[in-house]
Structure 1
Amino acid sequence: MKKLFLFLFLLLISIALFAQKLPRIKILATGGTIAGRGASADRSAYTSGELPIKDLIAAVPGIDKLATITGEQISNVGSQDMTVAIWMKLNQRINDIYKNNEADGVVITHGTDTQEETAYFLSLTVRYDKPVVLTGSMRPATAISADGPKNLYDAVALAASKEAANSGVLLVFSENIFSGRDAVKTNTTHVEAFTSPNTGPIGQIYDGHVVMYESPLRKANKNTPFDITGLTSLPEVAIVELYADAPATALNAYMAAGVKGIVTGGLGNGNLNKVNTAAVESAVKKGIPVVRASRVSSGRVTLLDETDDEKLGTVVSDDLLPQKARILLMLGLTKTKDQKQLQQYFFDY
């Protein structure tokens, strides 16, 4: 009897020691399709953000063997309703988790509509070099062949790996690993919804095995200049997309509304037609910084090409699309309105 008791005691100690060796992963849930529920498994209609985080974790076989997992519900919205306020809440919670040594890695479940924007915002504001990984799904949890459980498994595997450290904020989808800065949603319905048009994936995951091909150079993390601690809001920045024969109505309306910055989704190399060039010139004279981005999905907007940025007073977005250029300009405006300094941010981050 004593031998049996000793055996069971040693077995429990071994199990406890093994469990302690597993990385601690905190999953922060924000809602989205991955937490969606539909009326029928064979129909695409569903409601986002219906399932709580505990149900998402329970739906992933073997995830408990990758890490010791805990979950928190930060919000429960479709990502079309993502807000700057939720971004700031996420940022504060991640920084607190690492400051208080609550986890070794963080995974965020998120809708795909604005997932790339959240990833970039966090890549500029999280002040630690520890893993932060975003994922989601294109099919709701109740659908045939739902992709959420596999994506969540892969995200936890990545966050638990040594490869994720010092790599900036990452986004995992359909076994591909993307830099949070460069990931872009490029398909409205397919499960392979994300790409990085200018760089491609930086790694892949297969059967829970992480392979990284490269490490992003343009990442901020602990060296970020954008400390938003204590802020309750960010400067309002608007996006104006151009098209053939576009009037300056939107630009003028945003100026009248008192926005603090404007990003133009220009034509080709971020080009502006004559009436919008005149409106941009007016905005700059009023002290409203303007960033020239492009509606084209790949490539970069270059200084002093068809547009004389020095004369016009504009900043170029480099290779950031308008939705991401807006984020960097919002954060940049918490530090400065100087054209040269803002331009350097776009070249550095």
Structure 2
Amino acid sequence: MFKSFARACAVGLIALASLAAQAGELPQVVIVATGGTIAGAGASAVNSASYQAAKVPVDKLLASVPELNTVARVRGEQAFQIASESFTNEHLLTLGRKVAELVAKPDVDGVVVTHGTDTLEETAFFLNLTIHTDKPIVVVGSMRPGTALSADGALNLYDAVAVAGEPTARAKGVLVVMDDCIWSGRDVAKTINIRTDAFQSPWGPLGMIVEGKSYWFRAPVKRHTSNSEFDIANLTTLPRVDVGYGSGNANGDAFKAFAAAGAKAVINAGTGNGSVSKEVVPTLQELTARGVTVVRSSRVTGGGFVIRNAEQPDDKYGWVAAHDLNPQKARILTMLGLTVTNDPAQLQRMFWEY
């Protein structure tokens, strides 16, 4: 009897929240769905690592978490229904335009983007660099499909909506909310693929969210959103930028192939401090002479930090050091940078500032 009474009370509270939302007392948050695990389904409740992503449409996703109505007036829009490993530059541009259109509306207080976790960090960084707004934009995913035991998607989505409607989340850039943590979209990265605490940043979270309430501990200092020199409104295409992975016995073949296929820049995902194998250096020098931008990043998990003119004479070669951005995020910034300039000095400035 007690459980039935408690459930009835919960349903009543959700109904009251819905009435309050209709009266305009709650923030309005739009959820833009793109697919991913958070919209996935497995064959059984024990399938938490093997499942099909991007199966559940946004309306059913929202209906599965009625508690959203206690923290915001929510509505959903289906941008894509794909697994995020298939996210292309065209998807980034389309999504960016949609988010920019939404945050420009006076009756929208925040936007949540549901996304597959494989490339979630790249999309978050792209939006962080291209959307001119102080309104909260939150990217969220899940590590387990909604059909799994201990699925994390429902709570992650609830937390993301709560943060997106929170005035204290304004002007902090694009955020990623996962596993009770609020991360900067700039520096968070997926570090493991089978645990719910998969997303981490070498500099720690910006804050935590507990039972729908945000607690903040630091703020981003790098340029973002309304303070960015990049604007989605000015972007029609993005130049090709490819990533070559450093390892023992590395050679320059991949970089040559990238350039032959039309790459305007290559990212060296180097060992350690963005190191470049002696077998690869001549190839990258040759590509630089042909006008291909070379960026040294690090493949180190959880905090590769590339120091300019260490390991390689960047000034002499005209190369760019990726600072603390991992290879996939270095690719995003390099693409955007090349829409403005191909001057290595200016590109290096961007890596220091963003």
Matches of 1:173 and 1:120, distance apart in 2: 15
Q: For residue 25 of structure 1, what is the aligned residue in structure 2?
A: 29
Gaps of 5+ in 2: 1-15
- Corresponding residue for 2:5? none
* 1:244 alignment partner in structure 2: 248
Provide the residue aligned with 2:177 in structure 1.
172
Cα shift readout 1:259-316 (whole Å, capped 9, x = no counterpart): 1111100121111111211111001100111100011121410111121101111000
Larger Rg: 1
Q: RMSD value over aligned CA atoms?
A: 1.6
1:227 aligns with 2:217: no
Measured at CA, do residues 295 and 99 of structure 1 come closer, stay the same or move farther in structure 2, by a change above 3 Å? same
**Which runs of 5 or more residues in structure 1 are unaligned?**
1-11
Q: Equivalent residue of 2:269, what SS?
A: strand
What secondary structure does 2:75 align onto? strand
- 1:16/1:41 CA distance change after superposition, 3 Å: closer
Q: Which residue in 1 is equivalent to 2:9?
A: none
* Matching residue of 1:215: 219
Question: Residue in 1 aligned with 2:58?
Answer: 53
CA distance in 2, matches of 1:97, 1:27: 10
Which one of 263, 266, 270 corresponds to residue 266 of structure 1? 270
Q: Is the CA contact 1:19–1:68 (under 8 Å) kept in the aligned structure 2?
A: no
- Map of 1:182-193 to 2, 5 A cutoff? 182-193=187-198
The letter for the 2-side match of 1:193 is A
2:280 equivalent to 1:276: yes
Cα offsets for 1:52-103 (capped at 9, x unmatched): 1111111114210101001000000011111111111111111111223241
1:160 aligns with 2:160: no
What SS does structure 2 have at the residue aligned with 1:133?
strand
Match of 2:87 in 1: 82
The 10-residue stretch of structure 1 (36-45 or 149-158) with the greater mean CA deviation from structure 2? 36-45
**1:156/1:16 Cα in 2 relative to 1: closer, same or farther (>3 Å)?**
closer
| Number of residue equivalences | 336
Change beyond 3 A, Cα 1:256–1:18: closer
2:337 is aligned with 1:332: yes
Cross-structure match for 2:296: 292
* Equivalent residue letter for 1:93: K
SS at match of 1:21: coil
Q: Does 1:64 align with 2:69?
A: yes
Secondary structure, counterpart of 2:196 in structure 1 = coil
- Do the aligned partners of 2:341 and 2:347 also contact (CA within 8 Å) in 1? yes
Q: Determine whether 1:202 maps to 2:191.
A: no
Instruction: Name the counterpart of 2:138.
Output: 133
Q: 1:202 to 1:230 in 2, by over 3 A?
A: closer
Distance 1:22 1:346, change over 3 A: same
Q: Report percent identity of matched pairs.
A: 45
What is the alpha-carbon distance in structure 2 between the residues aligned to residue 284 and residue 228 of structure 1? 28
Q: For 2:310, which of 305, 308, 313 is the aligned residue?
A: 305
Mapping of 1:84-103 within 5 angstroms? Answer: 84-103=89-108
> In structure 2, what is the Cα distance between the partners aligned to 1:193 and 1:140?
15
Give how far 1:175 is off: 0.1
Q: Specify the code of the residue in structure 1 equivalent to 2:352.
A: F
* C-alpha distance after superposition, 1:141-183 (max 9, x if no partner): 1111211000000001101111210000000101011000011
Deviation at 1:229, TM superposition (A): 2.1
CA distance in 2, matches of 1:345, 1:38: 42
Counterpart position of 1:8: none
CA distance in 2, matches of 1:16, 1:189: 39
Separation in 2 of the partners of 1:99 and 1:178? 24
Structure 1 SS opposite 2:223: coil
Matched AA of 2:344? Q
Determine the C-alpha separation between the residues in 2 that align with 1:124 and 1:57: 28
Q: Distance in 1 between matches of 2:52 and 2:304?
A: 36
Cα distance in 2 for residues equivalent to 1:17 and 1:98: 19
Give the match's secondary structure for 1:62.
Answer: helix
What's the CA shift for 1:200? 0.8
TM-score, length of structure 1 as denominator length: 0.93
Question: Which letter does structure 2 place at the counterpart of 1:143?
Answer: A
Structure 1: how far apart are the matches of 2:266 and 2:201? 24
- TM-score if structure 2 supplies the norm length? 0.92
